[in-house]
Chains A and B, each alone.
Chain A
Amino acid sequence: MIRIQGLTKTFGDLLAVDDLHLEVPAGELFGFLGPNGAGKTTTIRMLTSLLRPTAGDAWVNGFHVVHDAMEVKRSIGYLPENPFLYDKLTGREFLHFIAGLHRVPEPTRTHQIDRLLELFGLTERADDLIESYSQGMRKKLALCSVLVHRPKVLFLDEPTNSLDPRSARLVKDILRELCRQGTTVFMSTHILEIAEQMCERVGIIHQGRLVAVGSLEELRAGGGRADASLEELFIALTGGPEVAEIAAYLREG
């Protein structure tokens, strides 16, 4: 469903993503982890046809992310870390706008929008301007907009940020159900517990390179630490020296 071959992106002298190879089959919930600035968002933006790779290829739903950009965009849903919303539209108007551009026909559109608003507890505020929404409501509305056209692949950048525990739980349940129905979810997150609980496989990217990929058991086996948590594996792979330096700094006061 997602196939990445040698994907590379540079910004001037900065190598943001370096020769990435990865495959994510249909129906999998894949966790994409990495420290700040590791290249997670750049990778997702390339896979959603928002950024052009400097080298390499990637296919989403069988469509090439550069040559078939429009088909890629039709078949995916993309939730950025800070969602883009039109403040002067109401929540309902915004969802109609997104569904319209995805050519979701009526009356399916209205039914689907009402259902999503209900599911995310936004029905009461659906006809208020988005500028009056809290951060959590904005995130929930953005999630509704990502799901409104029932995409085959979801790219989610920190989907549970700004959500209260109840809403975060709801998102997790929805994602599990979508995967069960065959939707592929490519999710970037900093919250390792979520990745540990939800993802069948995780990939860890560090300084633009994919340093590990596999299930938690495979990562443990690869790291030679049978009882290690994902957090311990993550730090061992990406932040060992820095963590030691921080601990030393704190000890010195």
Chain B
Amino acid sequence: MLDLLFQSKFIIWKNTLFRGGMRRLTPRLVWYGLSVYLFIMVVQGTQELFSLVLAFFPAGAGALLNTFFAGLFTIALFWGIGTNLNQLFLRSDMELLLSLPIARRDIFLLKLAEATWSVLLGGLLGMAAGIGFGWAAGAPWLYYPWLGLATLLLLAMLVSLSMLLIMLVVRILPAKRARDLSTVLFTLVFGVLWFGWMILTQRDEPMQVFIQNQDVLARLGHTLRWLPTSWLTASLEALCYQEWGAFLLSAGAVLAGAGVMVALAYRVYDATFYCSWAAFHEMRPAVRRPTAARRQKQPLLARLYPWPAREIAVKDWAILRRDPRWLSSLIMPLIVSAFYIYWLGFQQRASLPLGAEFWVATLLCPFVAWFFALAVNVPAIGAEGKNIELVRSLPLSAGALMASKVASTAPFLLAIAVIVTAVLGALLQLPALWFWLALVQNGVLAVLFAFAGVAAGSMDPRFLADHPRRSVGVTGTYLSLFLFALLAAAQLALSAGLMIALAPGDPASQLVVTLWTAALRLPPSVPLMLSAAVGIYIIALGAVAAAWEFGRRHLERWQPGD
């Protein structure tokens, strides 16, 4: 039975890849190509790093490899929790599988394989680091097949662990809210872990610490030795040095650990299946009933919007504030913003070069807005999902829909830009003129990001995606990144030109002049700088306008079944 299930999944994968025509195949091939390129780069990079470590501090190489594995597999563990939740209880094929004469063990193994596949990226990066280590250490051929097998075993172990966590959450949290809350909870846990890690390691470059401070490396390796990843590392080290006894011991630990964890997850899944299934499929709770007065009350900002932006904004804001999956996508951008504000505003304030304060306030905003735009603006059209058919059946043109989406999502970015600039401006004690310049510039940039994000998202929406995060394809995501980078570069160039024209003697202007002279070996020229800035700005706006028009036409031509 299991072979039939895997066969059907393979056919689905094959049809998805090859039966969508070149339009769908090309972005996937580009994605696979980029992944292979990244894999090769990681192998090369880690090979060089490990060669260095093995030359100067051979005992630290294993600790470093273990740190790599621990980091990547921890990310994979948390990254995969949402997917596992979906795989175990929520996927649309679950009812079909349950209605067929299939043993629950087979369903579990299928879901385990699918969940492992979904976190394969973390495993592949770990594998690339492992290949780099083996290459640097001159490992025998047996090393490489074992690395592949052991990585898969470790991933299966982690997926089983995350399945156990999910099943535990279902038992602890109120059943009706388990589905929504678990998404938020795990994103929050991951975000807090990331924040803590960054706070702990931000004083020095981690790689610098590893190379320069052998004690730290040894201590880190010692600290992480209880993790299952250290069994994998120990087995790989033993293979490299051909210590067969140690290899058998650590390889046995990996095999036994994976076996025990998978068996445990299966036992719990089997024993608690119907309780968990019921918890996830109970009726959604009713929303708090509003009073008659509140029923008619629209958000103030929406009341200022014209038709149809008002209707779309009211609808979007009501949905977004009630959708924990969407809210959870804001957690990481918020934590990243908080960390960099803290780091630059408190930790690095004293060590910033003279005149750099303005540029810190100006550069951080596009970085933060980029995170938020990817979560809010880029998926705005795709997140309509199947309801796009409803929206397209209403008297609303594609252009009006896109403009409405900008209106409903731009306030988020604008608020973030204003808050980040204001807080950093206050912490770095920016002079009034520079503060206002940064504020206006970042505000304009946020609005332009909103246009660029919606335009790029409209060119490549995925209306059938099961999560808002996946509602834009690879092309749309990369295009949005390109447009954001272009707009940020244009804004920075313009403010550099303006700054030199307004206050040539200011340290912030002098910093630009120094960089200009060093990069171009030309004396600074205000007209040349301003012309170049305006030129870049026009190119950036042209690119956004072109993307907008392509997106509009794509949506206009969209038909059910596309």
A residues sitting closer than 8 Å to B (CB atoms) are: 11, 45, 48-52, 70-71, 73-74, 78, 80, 83-90, 92-93, 96-98, 100-103, 110, 127-129, 131-132
Contact = CB atoms under 8 A, between A and B. Distances in A.
A74 B395 contact: yes
Given A84-B386, A132-B283, 12 more contacts: A50-B559, A50-B560, A52-B559, A84-B390, A85-B390, A86-B319, A87-B284, A89-B319, A92-B295, A100-B310, A100-B311, A131-B284
Nearest to A71: B395
Nearest to A72: B395
B82 to A, nearest CB: 18
B394 interface: yes
B296 interface: yes
Given A110-B296, A128-B286, A88 B323 contact: yes
A71 B396 CA distance: 10
A152 to B, nearest CB: 13
A102 B389 CA distance: 16
Given A50-B389, A101-B308, A89 B315 contact: yes
B559 A51 contact: yes
B244 interface: no
B315 A50 contact: no
A129 B322 contact: yes
B287 interface: yes
A97 B396 CA distance: 12
B498 to A, nearest CB: 42
A84 B284 CA distance: 18
A127 B394 contact: no
**9 A-B pairs closest in CB distance:** A84-B390, A100-B311, A131-B284, A128-B286, A73-B395, A74-B395, A88-B319, A88-B322, A84-B387
Contact of A98 (B323, B389, B394): B394
Contacts of A50: 389, 392-393, 559-560
Interface of B: 283-287, 289-290, 295-296, 307-308, 310-311, 314-315, 318-319, 322-323, 386-387, 389-390, 392-397, 559-561
B395 A97 contact: no
Contacts of B390: 83-85
Nearest to B326: A88
Nearest to A76: B393
A93 B318 contact: yes
Nearest to A100: B311
A102 B285 CA distance: 30
A45 B560 contact: yes
20 contacts: A45-B560, A48-B393, A50-B393, A73-B393, A74-B395, A80-B389, A84-B386, A85-B387, A86-B319, A93-B315, A97-B315, A100-B307, A100-B310, A101-B395, A102-B395, A103-B307, A128-B286, A128-B289, A129-B285, A132-B286
Given A48-B393, A70-B397, A102-B394, A129 B307 contact: no
Contacts of A71: 395
B310 A88 contact: no
Nearest to B561: A11
B54 to A, nearest CB: 55
Contacts of B283: 132
A131 B559 CA distance: 26
Which of A78, A80, A93 counts the most B-chain CB atoms under 10 A from its CB?
A: A93
Nearest to A131: B284
Contact of B394 (A11, A73, A87): A73
Given A70-B397, A86-B319, A132-B283, A127 B289 contact: yes
Nearest to B387: A84
A129 B387 contact: no
Contacts of A48: 393
A45 B511 CA distance: 61
A110 B296 CA distance: 9
A202 B311 CA distance: 38
Nearest to A78: B393
A97 B287 contact: no
B559 A128 contact: no
Contact of B285 (A84, A90, A132): A132
B511 to A, nearest CB: 48
A45 B451 CA distance: 31
Contact of A51 (B284, B285, B289, B560): B560
Nearest to A132: B284
A124 B396 CA distance: 31
Contacts of B284: 87, 129, 131-132
A185 to B, nearest CB: 17
Contacts of B322: 88, 129
Which of A87, A88, A131 counts the most B-chain CB atoms under 10 A from its CB?
A: A88
Contacts of A84: 386-387, 389-390
B534 to A, nearest CB: 38
A86 B393 contact: no
Contacts of A129: 284-287, 322
Contacts of A86: 315, 319, 387
Contacts of B285: 129, 132
B508 to A, nearest CB: 46
Contacts of B396: 73, 101
Contacts of B559: 45, 50-52
Contacts of B310: 100
Contacts of A92: 295
A90 B387 contact: no
A98 B300 CA distance: 20
Contacts of B295: 92, 127
Contacts of A102: 394-395
Given A51-B559, A70-B395, A101 B286 contact: no
B311 A101 contact: yes
